[in-house]
Structures are given as C-alpha cells and as structure tokens.
Amino acid sequence: MTWWVMLSGGLALLLSLMVVGVPIFVAFLILNVAGVLVLIGPAGFGMFANSIFTTTTLAELAAIPLFILMGELLFRSGTMNVLLDSLDRLVGGIRGRQYVLCILLSAICGALAGAAMAVAGLLGRSLFPTMQARGYDRNLAAGTILGGASLDPIIPPSVLAIIIASLAKISTGKLLIAGIVPGLLLMVLFLAYVLIRVRLNPALAPDVAGELRDPATRGSAFMAVLRMMPVSLIFFLVVGLIMLGIATPTEAAATGVAGAALLALCYGGLNVRMVKESVVSGITVAGIMLAIMACATMFSQLMIMTGAMRALGDFVIHLDLSYAAMLFVLLAVPFVLFMFLDSVSVLMVLTPIYQPVVQLYHYDPIWFWSLILIVATVGGITPPFGYTLYAFKSAVPEMPTRELFRAAWPFAWIIVLGMVIMSIFPGIITFLPELARS
C-alpha cells in the first residue's frame, strides 16, 4: 500500500469521525488503534502506551493546566468586571468609545488568560447589552467583541501557543513572547477600523456628550487606575519572568496562578466554592487537551513509519514553489480547514506534516509557527463553525446566526491584513524573541 493511500485514508477516516460528532481524542484513538494493528500488529500496543506516557509527561505541558486554572480564577473572581468598570472610566470622550473599550479590554484579557471563547461569552453577556442600550450599532458591536476576543490566544499566555510549541519542538517561551507585538498590531488595526467607520458614519455610535452623562462612565480616573494596578502584576509574573530568563513557562504559569489567587482576594472574589469550581474546570479542560495531544503524537509517529513524511517532503521539493508561494499555500490550507474543524485537531494533523517543509524552505520557526497560531485564531471567528462565534451566540441567543457571520467577516479580513504585514516584515514577530535570547 503506497504512502499517499495510507495518509489520505487515515485523514479521511479522522475527518469522517469528527464530522459525525465523535470527540477529537476518541477519533484519534480509533485511528491510532487501527493504524497500529495494520502496520505493526498487536505487538505495537506497547509502543502506543509508551508514546502516550512520553507525551503526557513532557515538562512543558505542565503549563497548560496552570494557565487554564489561572484564567478560571480570574474570570470567576470578578476581576473582569473590575477591568470593565475601570476602563470605562478611563476611555476619553471619543465617539465610539465602547468599541474602543471592548478592544482594549479584550487585549488585557489576552494578557491574563488567553481564552477567546471565555472572553467572547463574558463580553457578550456584560458589554454587548450595554452597547445596545446606549445606541451602538449591533453588527459592529458584535464584530468588535469577536475581533477583540480573537486577540486572546495570540497575546501571552496562550494555551494554543504551548500546544504548537510542543508539537513543533520549538521554544515555548519564545513562541509565547512572539505573540506580544502581533497582538498589539492587530489591536491597533481593529481600533483604526472602528474609529474610521464611526467617523464616516456617525450613526454607528451615540453622541459622546450623552454617553458621558451616564453615571457608569463617571468617577475618579486615579481610582480607576489604582484598581487596575494589581492586574499588571499578573502580566509581569507570566510574561516578564519568561523574558527576563528568571522562570520557565511552567514556573511562570505557577506563579501566575498564585498571583491570580491573590488578585481574587484583593477584589473580594476568593472563596472555597470559586476555587473548587476553577480547579474542576481547569482539570477537565486540561485533561481533554492532553488526551488529544497524546493520541495526535502517536498519529504523527505512525505517519513517519509509513514513510509518508519523507515522501511528502520529496513531493514538495518537486513542486518547486517559490518561498512566498509555498508560505501562501501553507497558510491557506489551515485557513480553510479552521472554518470547519476545531483548531487543536487541525494543528495536531498539520504540524508533523509541515515540519519538514518548514526546514526545507528555511523559514524561521518562531515566525512561521506564530503565523500558524494567528491563522488558528482567525479560524475561531470565521463562519460556518468558528468556535468563538458560537461562544458569543450562546451569550446572545437573540442575534441571528447570519447577522453574526456578517459581523465577523470584516475583523477576520483585518487579521488576514495583519498577517500579510507580518509576512512582509517578519521582525514584527521575531524582535522580542531575539531580545529574550540575549
């Protein structure tokens, strides 16, 4: 049986299982069991067990449950409500100020938890009704929330970045740090877009004077800044310690959990029930992710055994595409797949396939995998199956799905524009990681 028949057959089986609703890790498990039986026989299950043990005991992956727990503590302790209130008081007299508030709040959430679905749901429940009540355009408000939430897996800490770094065998710390400037660039592009649209069409936002008379937007700016100061400590504990070389990502994540607990205590949201719910939720999500990764790693090993990886590399060589053309193909394929499939499952399949191509074309690994991370992020807001779309939909069930799709597309294309800029100027991504090397 030729390598391409086995590869295409395996991928077809995997996608078919996912389409009919089989959980991702179960789909990988079924495929792996079938692959081991066909290629090796029953004796291969010892290698299967060893592969699972090796993957799940990687030290780098310990950061995943810790980052998830940190995010859960922050969201359940009321920290996000404090940030929302403080930023609302700090944003000046700009027409469309709630759009600005939404994007800034999302960027800060990205520096705290990196959970796009959680932020989309949170802002859909808390900020979206306020924006509607104040007369903001519903479509632009929804799009701003979705676009802002898409920043969260890019700006560190990012669970998705840790998964990609582990699969691609690159530095987790450098990939995390690499997301800072791209996240800020996309935030600026979002701000420019909404402010230009409001300037061209003032009906998209209410009159500033009337909005500033709202008691919720008034108060001491000094006190608002003071209430936000503890949040900056979390960012330093997570990102600052990694950049300074003081802590590994796992150690920084553990420190971030301690900081999140202290922050919850500071804001009065720390209690036994909240901690218990956060731990249970963190364990559940992290356990599923580790199960997926273990099964996907075995899938990669089976592909290597079939000779598919080497043959695929030879196939790419004979295509003789230019540097830029190959980059376009490598980014376009997941862009389309992420519209229909979960980002983690797609990354599990594509990463081992892409690795020899990245080496062949001498792409900077941090730069290339950062672009892949951004593609995965935009997949969360692209119809028809973007997971962030449906997190927002669950929080705002009265908004028609077609209208929600229409609201998301402009921000998806803005992210694509950002990727083009980062492809032309790779230093935007590699600048901070290179500083961290010194």
- Does residue 280 lie in a domain region? no
Query: Which of the two residues, 187 and 3, has the higher pLDDT score?
Result: 187
pLDDT surpasses 80 at 407: yes
Q: What mean pLDDT is predicted for residues 288-304?
A: 71
Q: What percent of the chain has pLDDT over 70?
A: 86
158 and 261 assigned to the same domain: yes
Q: What is the 3-state secondary structure (H, E, C) of 229-240?
A: HHHHHHHHHHHH
Q: What does the alpha-carbon distance between residue 156 and residue 435 come to, in Å, rounded to a whole number?
A: 16
pLDDT value at residue 142: 93
Helix (H) or strand (E) holding 263: helix 249-266
300 and 311 assigned to the same domain: no
Cβ neighbour number for residue 41 with a 10 Å cutoff: 9
- Does residue 191 lie in a domain region? yes
Helix (H, G, I), strand (E, B) or coil at 292: helix
pLDDT surpasses 70 at 331: yes
pLDDT surpasses 70 at 212: no
Q: What does the alpha-carbon distance between residue 244 and residue 237 come to, in Å, rounded to a whole number?
A: 11
pLDDT value at residue 438: 45
Q: Which residues contact 228 (CB under 8 A, 6 or more apart)?
A: 82, 83, 86, 87
pLDDT value at residue 220: 66
10 and 153 assigned to the same domain: no
Query: CA angle at residue 145 from 164 to 344, to 5 degrees?
Result: 20
Please tell me the total count of domains within the chain. Answer: 2
Q: List the domain range (segments joined by +) for residue 116.
A: 58-270+307-437
48 and 67 assigned to the same domain: no
Per-residue model confidence as pLDDT tens digits over 142-187: 999 999 888 888 888 787 888 888 888 898 889 989 999 999 999 9
Query: CA angle at residue 267 from 262 to 268, to 5 degrees?
Result: 95
Per-residue model confidence as pLDDT tens digits over 65-118: 887 788 778 777 777 677 777 777 777 677 888 898 888 887 777 666 556 776
299 and 238 assigned to the same domain: no
- Does residue 366 lie in a domain region? yes
239 and 357 assigned to the same domain: yes
pLDDT surpasses 70 at 251: yes
Of the residues 261, 279, 306, the one at which a domain ends:
306
Highest mean pLDDT (candidates 46-60, 290-304, 347-361): 347-361
Alpha helices in 60-155 (DSSP H): 63-76, 79-90, 97-110, 116-133, 138-149
50 and 62 assigned to the same domain: no
328 and 357 assigned to the same domain: yes
207 and 254 assigned to the same domain: yes
> pTM for this structure?
0.77
234 and 295 assigned to the same domain: no
Residue-wise DSSP of 14-78: HHHHHHTT--HHHHHHHHHHHHHHHHT-GGGHHHHHHHHHHHHT-GGGGHHHHHHHHHHHHHHTT
- Does residue 282 lie in a domain region? no
pLDDT value at residue 368: 96
Of 377, 293, 228, 276, which Cα lies nearest the Cα of 69? 276
pLDDT value at residue 130: 81
* 205 φ, ψ (degrees, to nearest 5): -140, 150
pLDDT value at residue 419: 95
228 and 334 assigned to the same domain: yes
Q: What mean pLDDT is predicted for residues 229-252?
A: 78
Q: What does the alpha-carbon distance between residue 11 and residue 140 come to, in Å, rounded to a whole number?
A: 38
142 and 258 assigned to the same domain: yes
Of 408, 420, 427, 429, which Cα lies nearest the Cα of 190? 408
